[in-house]
Structure 1
Amino acid sequence: MSLPPTSQGAQPHHNHPAAAASPMPETEWSTGLFDCFSDLKNCFITCLCPCITFGQIAEVVDKGATSCGASGALYSLIYCLLGCGCIYSCVYRTKMRQQYKLKGTPFLDFLTHCCCETCALCQEHRELQNRGFDMLIGWEGIVERGKEAVARVPTAPAVQPMTR
């Protein structure tokens, strides 16, 4: 009697629908939570005005659906009313983790932001930079830069027909 393909010890077939639906493994963050000194400029800005860093993160994570200014202002409002912006910012850490398959859980995201808000924001900012996003130009600038890069790619010359 042969075992069905899904039994223990059987090798999955790569064209099998279950193999295609298997989730991607989670990866480590590119930098640690306390690696703030690798980007002192952002660390300084985040310590003085975390709403700026948060706004930049939110704009990129939302792919331009929310603006840096609006997200930063809402973060500031929540911070002023409740005394902590982590209630809002931890949601974006979760979104970012899910987009890039980074290790963690929503509960750990919340704890990280409650205990180490500025370090969490700095880590998220570094992660997006390490993934190639220029955080200073915003989502529209990132999209425009991408279009310019595509426009500069040389095209192959037209094939000339052979004549005798």
Structure 2
Amino acid sequence: MYPSGQPMPQNPAYVTGIPAHHSTTPSEWSTGLCDCTKDCSSCCLTCWCPCITFGQIAEVVDKGTTSCGVHGAIYSILCLFTGCQCIYSCMFRSKLRKQYMLPEQPCNDCLIHCCCQTCAICQEYRELQYRGLDPSLGWEGNLARQNQGVVMPPTGPGEMKR
């Protein structure tokens, strides 16, 4: 659910909520670049502390290979010392687009992140929510949420011996 209480539209191609590595059919962005008011809480967080929102997105897009904290710290360091954090963040927009076969619109990823950093991060956050993922939970949290209700057989201490 969106924080506003409205249900998120579900994409039937993702039965488990954890999407496959790559979609097989091209799709469109679920919201526009400037639709920040559709999720005011993530928009406010992104305006005041984009490193947190970006870190959450990057962890999910990277499928948990690097934590939210590491991505957020790299983003912050680049912002403080170079002002070129948009180059780092645009790489994850490109990864997200490739995973879901989204169009590069309204222009290329780097230009979007250089000119509209906050709007781009907010759009990516909303896109992950639309796809059934909650960036605030992180990758492991999303996996755990998807595995709720699934009963796994108990594992033994090793192989059986006679």
TM-score (norm 2): 0.75
Aligned partner of 1:113 in structure 2 is: 113
Q: Runs of 4+ in structure 1 displaced over 4 angstroms?
A: none
Q: Which is richer in helix?
A: 1
Q: Do structure 1's residue 27 and structure 2's residue 30 form an aligned pair?
A: no
* Cα drift, residue 25 of structure 1: 4.4
Structure 1: runs of 5+ lacking an equivalent: 1-22, 153-164
Of structures 1 and 2, the larger Rg is shown by 1
Once the two structures are superposed, residues 83-109 of structure 1 have per-residue CA deviations (whole angstroms, 9 ceiling, x without a partner) of 13101000000000000100017x700
> Which stretch of structure 1 is more off in the superposition, 130-139 or 44-53?
130-139
Q: Distance in 1 between matches of 2:150 and 2:118?
A: 36
Give CA-to-partner distance per residue, 1:16-71, whole Å, 9 cap, x none.
xxxxxxx9442210000000000011100000000001000000001100100000
Aligned to 1:38: 38
Could you tell me which residue of structure 1 aligns to residue 102 of structure 2? Answer: 102
Q: How many residues align?
A: 129
Please state how far the C-alpha of 1:76 moved relative to its aligned partner. Answer: 0.4
Alpha-carbon distance in structure 2 between the residues aligned to 1:145 and 1:40: 24
- Measured in 2, the distance between the counterparts of 1:140 and 1:133 equals 11
TM-score normalised by structure 1 residue count: 0.74
Q: Given the alignment of the two structures, is residue 134 of structure 1 paired with residue 134 of structure 2, yes or no?
A: yes
Give the match for residue 84 of structure 1. Answer: 84
Tell me the amino acid that sits aligned with residue 148 of structure 2: E
Q: In the aligned structure 2, how far is the partner of 1:130 from the partner of 1:24?
A: 17
Larger RCO, structures 1/2 (Cα 8 Å, 6+ apart):
2
* Ranges in structure 2 where 5+ consecutive residues have no aligned partner: 1-22, 153-162
